[in-house]
Structure 1
Amino acid sequence: MERVQEFKIGDWVCIRPFLTSTKYGLGSVTLGSIGIVYCIRPDSSLLIELSYLPTSWHCEPEEVEHVVPFRIGDRKCVKRSVAEPRYAWGGETHHSVGKIREVEGDGLLIIDIPNRQENDGNWVRVKASVSAPRYGWEDVTRNSIGVIHNLEEDGDMGIAFCFRNELFPFSVSDGEKVPRFEVGQEIRVMPSVNQPRLGWLNESPSTVGKTARIDLDGALNVGRQSLWKVSPGDVEQLPGFEVGEWVCSKPSPGSRSSSDLNGASCIAVVHSVQDSGPLTHYTEAEKVPCFKVGQYVRLRTSLVEPRWGWRGSRPESQCVLTGIHADGEVKAAFFGLPGLWRGDPADLEIEQMFMLPFVESKKGG
């Protein structure tokens, strides 16, 4: 019979990796996780703090085992067996070594990486103006997008491309940054790509999916029944807009719209999302909080004049939305004004707290 180890509060423990079941259930716990004993209950069961759980995990003593504690000043690197750290790389690699600067109560480690470059982790490609990179093309193409893994003092970089086993030598003068890919983005293979670099798997040119995970080498894992790996240079990001959402036009450098006088961009409702020929390209718009019937709103403080005039309202006026037209035009009821007030949503802002005007009552006589 195995002797149950004795534990005390503050001990570092590892959840035994070969457990088939636990008395109180695993929940979201990963076998092999390391945490700290937070509490010892009267029945000798333990509460373990794990950095990725919002609450302590309840277990029996025989379900965990002691491990060597982590201490401030220890030098650490990510284990080679870990393909992707729980909190992502942030530009580091398996070769990155740093010192523990802080240990939080749930076991989360804050590690300082010496000489860490701010550019590490950026996404890059060859500039369009460069006819050939300094170190040649090899299997890299003009559309290839990779992730910076190291930046040397002489301006050379090591770039990870998902279709290569080794870092690609790259001169900083040959590259340009591209927008960072993020988990949750909706993507599809570009129409100009006949054969994706990493293959189709069971997908097709019509496949649209969301990125579920991004590998260290930049490979995008599209979250379907089985993850489909896609090279970032083969895809385009989709707008992510849906019919019925509220959007406003982004300010365009060097241009001045008719709404600039009032200091607001135009606000509208998305009616359709088309593959080609849209009246407004999705890169020219951004989402804004939606207006809803029953919301309390007020005229914007910087408003010079409402689109259709004041019509009895004043800069400090507050109102309630009573109707919203399909094109975004709103109807509002102002306190003290007869009838409904027609308004442009760009002239309004949502009130977080609505204060009714104080009306003094007078007694007769």
Structure 2
Amino acid sequence: MAEAILGDQDQYSCSICLDLLKDPVTIPCGHSYCMSCINECWSTNDQEGIYRCPQCRQTFDSKPPLNRSTVLAEIMEKLGSTGLSESAQCLAGPGEIACDFCSGERIKAVKSCLECRASYCEIHVQPHYNVPALKKHKLVKAAVIPVCPKHDKLLEVYCRTDHKCVCMHCLLDDHKGHDTVPSTTERNEKQTKLTQSQTKVKQTVQAKEQELQMMKIDIASHSDSAKKAVENSKKMFSELVKLIEKKSNEVIEEIKAQEKADLDQGTKLQKKLEEDITELKKRDRVLDDLLQADDIQFLQNYESVSSSSGPDGFQKHSFKPCCSYPDINKRVCELKERLEAILNLKINETFQKVSDLSIKDHPDCIKVGDKVRVKPSIKTPKFDWGTVTHKSVGVVKDIKSDQSLIIDFPESTSWKGLLSEMEPVPDDNECGSSTLNCNIKKGDKVRVKPSVETPKYLWGSVSHGSIGSVINVQGEAVTVDFPEQQGWIGEVSEMELVPALGSQTHARLKIGNRVSVKSSVKDPIHGWGSITHDSIGVIKRIQGESLTVDFPEQTDWTGVVSEMVLIQSDVSEVLILRSGARVRVKPTISTPAHGWGSVTKKSIGVVVAINGIKVTVNFPEQSGWTGIVSEMEVVP
């Protein structure tokens, strides 16, 4: 039983002090804390009158009553009495914190005291639970206690001006007059943002996992479909072979039957001829005897012998078979050729239909006339390189039914390759990057594109916000001098030009301007935070390419100049669209930003409120309808 309790020890820890619950209390949302910890946490909010759960952030309008949880208290006592001897024997492993008071073996520490600046195992930490003077010390999960390298004091304060943790002595020294807050306060604020980011990450992970599951199902279904197609093809061709064998046997049987009939006829004719020959030989002997007789016998028998049928009385016979076998051979050969032609035609038609479906499903498939190059992942094409390289760009001349294609490269005409080895090249991308990037030259100001997660040659000390000068361009490689790193090497396709500081973009954006994130920006470099594309804020500070904006949803939001758009196009509209004006959706608007609802293009309503670029209108079909100022027009 004790082992089971110890196995779940982490779930009985207070999330504020990270220690086992002492005088445990459970608040209405269901989370439990030490009574002293939650009281101390909420004491800072007494003036505001708002109380939140440190874990789930649920808000309570009034301070909930804190009553000691008897069941949890008993569990804590059992956990304390059964867990010490076992956990005290746990040795510290590589990278783990050891107890500062254990002699001999390195016993694993479980808590660190910020006041004592020492780490303790389960046995040596007990005085901090029992001794009244030590109970006030701040215990945290065992870790290396951060101290100020200059004053050797505990880091307790966060300097927002310099974005670093400092000690109390630093406040009177290097950070005097800076914007500073207690580290716990800054942690709570940043933890809230981090929790929101974590929630988004979890939602994204969940969505990606569902997408992955669906993809696995689709791939498995596709594989099963391919297997069924193979089995069905084998079955159909097997049946076709059986049909051909059956018809072949029928033809052979018919030939044999006809042969037997013809042979029977020939046998009968042969027998008849043999009988006629026998009869003629007998007559020949009779005539021969008569010719050798004397005159009286000759004359007496002449009439009887001459009156019998002579040679003209026998019918002539000839063998005429009903079937001509050379004709059969000729017809069988013709049938074979016709079957081959039809079979090839139908199979090619099937392949063509599959290819057409593939091209229809994948619009980027290569077709005749497209510009292509060999994929970077192909080490050696099936029909060899010849004079072609990965950088060669050619035009597709012909695509064969066997998925091979003929390409005219500048280095080699009528080059043969496989369709699967090639990738299309956009018209404006023959040099391996966009037209803008192809124009990158020595002296230009550049930065890494926001869409590049990791450059080919890694980040080094450079970041998305870094802006540097090009010192060399050689093929696809570019060398840039950044303030953070000199001689940084990247790919031309990874870089984008940055307007000079005196450019129109910077000239238009100045402190006090009302701005929003461009609709073309999917993910700002520094993240969304609490703002959206509809958020409108005021520029507070501009430093080079970075700027700070105060939005209603979030103050001190950090962004990049190139991500923002100046809100000025709707000023005239706002002046015209005032409360009480009769308006309707412009005919050029296909779908309003916030949807139609019950409103149509023929609906006419009255403006009841204007907030920045948003306008609220009462239509007969729908009251309180929300739209964008630029979507509306005044009705006379």
Asked if TM exceeds 0.5, the reply is no
More helix by share: 2
Q: Per residue, is there more strand in 1 or in 2? A: 1
Which has the higher Rg, Structure 1 or Structure 2? Answer: 2
